[in-house]
Amino acid sequence: MNQAVLILIKPDGLKKSLTGNILTRLSETKLEIIAAKMVRVSQELACEHYKHLKGKPFFNDLIKYLQGELHDRKKVMALVYWGPEAIKKCRELAGATNPEEAESTSIRGSYGRITTSGVYENVIHVSSDVTEAEREIKLWFNPEEIIVDLYSIKSVEEKKKLAVWA
Ligand code: UDP
Ligand code: MG
């Protein structure tokens, strides 16, 4: 059965010019990209994304890391990949959370590092299960930004000013 998975190319991946490399590695999976964008990560978004790690000693540094404050790159690339066993395939390619433990040929094993303050700079985020993927995809993307109807939607009336090309 097809699954969706959220991938983030984290600020260290962008700074190290690994975007093309990571996308090439992910293309080995033969999965489909169904959404992609660059995102400036607010503190609120970073904290919500990593809320399962609140209270960990590295939490504050992790939030700064995702916001790009450690790499002078205040953005991440967010993508949704879709297809059979998408989560398992992408997690396998990414490798273990700790880049020192990740298989050396995996993305994290090839390009990740542990900082002196103990944060795992592991260049890529991959959702770890179907429930987490749904929560994360809904956090990072609006329904109209995804070209496959993944989850049920509803219509709401919203009056707000939009920026359009002048
Ligand atoms: N992390 C860290 N130290 C740890 C555990 C996690 O710096 O001991 C960071 C690392 O960047 C990781 C992120 O927190 O990718 C989220 O952790 P999680 O346990 O969800 O691992 P993942 O799903 O990213 O493999
Ligand atoms: Mg995780």
Tens digit of each residue's pLDDT (9 = 90 or more) over 41-89: 999 999 999 999 999 999 999 999 999 999 999 999 999 999 999 999 9
What are the tens digits of pLDDT across the range 106-153?
A: 999 999 999 998 999 999 999 999 999 999 999 999 999 999 999 999
Q: Which of 4, 63, 66, 70 has its CA nearest to residue 31? A: 4
Domain 2-145, second-level architecture: 2-Layer Sandwich (3.30)
Q: Which two tokens stand for residue 21?
A: 């490399």
> Which atom from ligand 1 is nearest to the alpha carbon of 96?
25
Instruction: Give the residue extent of every domain in the chain.
Output: 2-145
**pTM for the whole thing?**
0.97
- Phi and psi at residue 11, to the nearest 5°: -55, -30
What are the tens digits of pLDDT across the range 7-20?
A: 999 999 999 999 99
Nearest residue by C-alpha to atom 15 in ligand 1: 97
Q: Which of 9, 12, 6 has its CA nearest to residue 121? A: 12
DSSP designation for 94: H
Q: Is the dihedral of CA 20, 72, 76, 117 positive or negative?
A: positive
Task: Name the residue of 60, 97, 107 to mutate for ligand 1: max ligand atoms within 8 A of Cβ.
Answer: 97
**Ligand 2 geometric centre to CA of 40 (Å):** 20
